[in-house]
Structure 1
């Protein structure tokens, strides 16, 4: 394997810049966690996804780069001698191929807009029915009856399995699609907010094989998408402040024509913003697969 060598002065500067960038969002979360406080919007990226804050803060240059004078990387998974090993890349080959297939299938489709975030509403549909789990501690701003009415009067077209699987039993038959755990590549499309948030999951799963700057781009996209996801949800978060700049809460009332138009415009923007990140992840997967092939040759 040929490798680019980065002097400590060069890579340490990039590592500090990465930490400073993600700390705008990570540090408030850590401070809340220390105080035993929860944030109903921002904690999601740290609890639903399996990337620990410390791992997100740690910078990696990606496969094919050696860090000079880097004892702090000794012992990290996949590393030896300041670089990610060919053996680690080979061990990740099945995961990389699966991600590549999912990402390319998603990118091949036009974005479908107009789901209006109704997946969150379907998760609390008939919330008063026996056995249904309470999905969120916040009150429903339209109440249970009003929320159910929005679901019943709408077309539910959720294409994302990891949202669909949380629908209440009464809501699942209302979805015009029935995505499954094993056929994600057949359903995922780039207009889906959760497919956009999952770019962060795909990026950190590729860590430390890809540059952390790409992971941070996906993390910031997921952060902003999560805010829209909750702004369009049925929950009442009146008075909530949004980080990192303390922006006041505002609702996207998707039960109204004006709210639906606002949602579609924001959804289109996130689809456009996510497209180059998805393509960069595809390119990284292809680079890693080709490099693994080259490393395996005698």
Structure 2
């Protein structure tokens, strides 16, 4: 079981998209879209000493962590939320320490991911500025006990789970934890980029949160105890500069609510892979999940690709 069952996926889709335009979830997604549009429409220079000092403090914290060793127990299998949707065989190979090979990577791929990372950081910076400079803001960034923004390595954590006779660790960090003021609720914020064409985030092609990202959100729910998330997808490609009000949308926002059923189904998947590792029995391969896999050279050895 690499993805949610069809029944769970159908329920999940309904909760992500909503059945009523006035649901709290849809309002939350719309409010975040309005939040960014309002901020990016402001005419000001974004140079605030207080905010930039906070971001500098965060950078100093990240530098201190560079040589730090992970504190989670290394004697049991570990999963990362970003890998929640991976092929069970890929998770198995990672757990037993098989070397990954990405010989299909080219230099422009690195520039691709570098640009996406830079936009991630800029978006998080925008969240801090928006909460200070927008009137009647509906979102604020939560802070850690050390006063740092609640995102990335500032909230890196791990947790041990026991499920169906197996013990395993989920270890990870999120793009952000926000306060949704109208509901007085902590929510998860996940930011994703699309780089090829602006159409990738258009209403025709994008109708839902990607399956892999849904499962990532469920893993975050298990790790951080948060049930509601907003996923923002931004296209790095933009419409023509002179299009003005007629420009195609360059970002979309979706809400999802994670249920106990979804959490249990993901725990089932992780426990199954852990049991395979314990027994030394490989789970079945899933050849529809090979695109980014570093073990293609094993699955496709001497066979079809």
Q: TM-score range with shorter-chain normalisation? A: under 0.3
**TM-score (structure 1 length as normaliser):** 0.25
Q: Which structure features the higher share of helix residues?
A: 1
